Amino acid sequence: MSINAGTIYEDGLQIPICKLYAKGVYNEGLASVFFRNSRMPDWFQSDLIALVTACRTAATRVNELCDRYGLAMYEAATDYLLEQNRTAIKTIIDEKIGNEKSAFTDFIDDDGQGVGPYAISCTMQKEGNKLVFDWDGTSPQSNTSMNYYLSITMFKMFIGYYLLAVYDPHAVVNDGFHDLIDIKIPTGTILRPVRPAALSCRTHLLGRVMDVMQALFGQRNAAYRCAAGFSDSPHLFYSGFKPDGEFYLLYQIGFGGVPARPMGDGPDCHCLFPAIKSIPAENIELYFPVILEANEALPDSGGPGYYRGGNAQRTLYRFLCEGDVSLHDDRWMIKPWGVNGGMPGSRSKKVLYKNNAYGTDKEQAPENMVMCQSKQDYVHVYPGKLSTPTLKLFKTK
């Protein structure tokens, strides 16, 4: 996931849609290609087995339903659930979303090569019986892997889930409403790059897309208006070889502050995406050559207001092996904005402490502190009692 990638060919192995199993027969040759191209083949294989097992379990349950009730009844039931969802979303669009046009623009700070900021701009308006989202005004695609090929299907899923969570939380959630939403994304923009543009660092834009969507709906109903959060997907990579020659790779998705809500403060040190949880420090230290000297909320970093934004996560790493650290993050320049008079949250910051400077009088000495860029590949670090580098990461509201 290199920020320096200039084309998709540098992003890694491209796997087109193909069958891992054909009529129950495992494609061992294809799987071997996957494993050979991974530095952690055992982990890769375990992950693949878990995916296959989950799909088989789902297929078994569907077959059980069809055996019990018959195929016709099963299909009628799924059609009814889709129609139920469509009716709920259509009612919300007709009754809760006015005819005025909403418009909003947010920004990605930079692309890791000194170019930026990049605008992410969208309008929302009803046209006939459809709700139209137009991303015209979004910046041209990047020459680095900051690009994000926004999936129209996934963005529709975001819209549907938001509308139901706000206006009809007891309605069934599925894809039945998709024909009621129209998405327009200009080709050649950072949200619809032209192949072979690099894409591997796309998740920062994913967070911003969610903020923009909430801002558009917030203009239609102030009661559900939310501020911005840290709203990216901060990555930390720490890799190298242990003294016994074993390769290690620590990959963490950092957390930050979630926006304040109409009914209370935003959660501290939280993830934007479902099913991603903070990994206990003890677990990380057990498997990787690193000590987490601090992993905590940073007070008063989330932005003051009647309800404050969630506070940043402060993590202090002490590296025990020589290796490389790569950082992919954002919000170091443009603060997360507030709404309804609430103040912006703090910016993110990354600091490399050299020669055990952290926590001593040497901490303030310029030669012992290095401000790391928000997006930077291969910061080389060394272990040692007298020169253990320490990286401190802040993720803002």
Residue 111 lies in a domain: no
The string of pLDDT tens digits covering residues 130-142 is 999 999 999 999 9
Residue 110 lies in a domain: no
Query: For residue 233, what pLDDT is reported?
Result: 78
- CB proximity list for 15: less than 8 A, separation 6 or greater: 34
The string of pLDDT tens digits covering residues 349-371 is 888 887 655 554 444 555 666 77
Residue 274 lies in a domain: yes
Query: For residue 386, what pLDDT is reported?
Result: 39
Residue 91 lies in a domain: yes
Coil, helix or strand at residue 355: coil
One domain, residues 91 and 231: no
One domain, residues 90 and 230: no
Query: For residue 387, what pLDDT is reported?
Result: 39
Angle at 293 between CA 291 and CA 297, to 5 degrees: 130
Give yes or no for residue 325 having a pLDDT over 50: yes
Cα separation, 394 vs 208, whole angstroms: 18
Query: For residue 360, what pLDDT is reported?
Result: 46
Average pLDDT over residues 148-156: 95
One domain, residues 240 and 378: yes
Is the CB of residue 120 less than 8 Å from the CB of residue 191? yes
Do the bridges between strand 290-298 and strand 312-319 make them parallel or antiparallel, or are there none, so unpaired?
antiparallel
- Six token digits for residue 282: 């003890």
Query: For residue 358, what pLDDT is reported?
Result: 53
Q: In what order do the strands lie in the sheet with 102-108?
A: 102-108, 118-127, 130-134, 181-184
DSSP string computed for 223-248: GG-------S--EEEEEEE-TTS-EE
Residue 176 lies in a domain: no
Residue 194 lies in a domain: no
Domain that holds residue 82: 20-96
Query: For residue 1, what pLDDT is reported?
Result: 83
One domain, residues 377 and 234: yes
Query: Pick from 75, 96, 117: which residue ends a domain?
Result: 96
The string of pLDDT tens digits covering residues 220-259 is 888 888 888 888 878 899 999 998 999 999 998 888 888 8
- CB proximity list for 263: less than 8 A, separation 6 or greater: 307
Mean pLDDT computed over every residue of the chain: 89
Asked if the bond preceding 383 is cis, omega within 30° of 0, the reply is no
Residue 90: other Cβ atoms inside 10 A: 16
The total domain count for the chain is 2
Closest alpha carbon to 87 in 144, 32, 15, 164: 164
Query: Pick from 65, 96, 127: which residue ends a domain?
Result: 96
- Six token digits for residue 362: 């040497």
Query: Pick from 96, 114, 148: which residue ends a domain?
Result: 96
When pLDDT is cut at 50, 70 and 90, the band that residue 26 belongs to is very high
Query: For residue 189, what pLDDT is reported?
Result: 98
Query: For residue 395, what pLDDT is reported?
Result: 53
Is the CB of residue 122 less than 8 Å from the CB of residue 164? no
The secondary structure element, H or E, covering residue 286 is helix 281-287
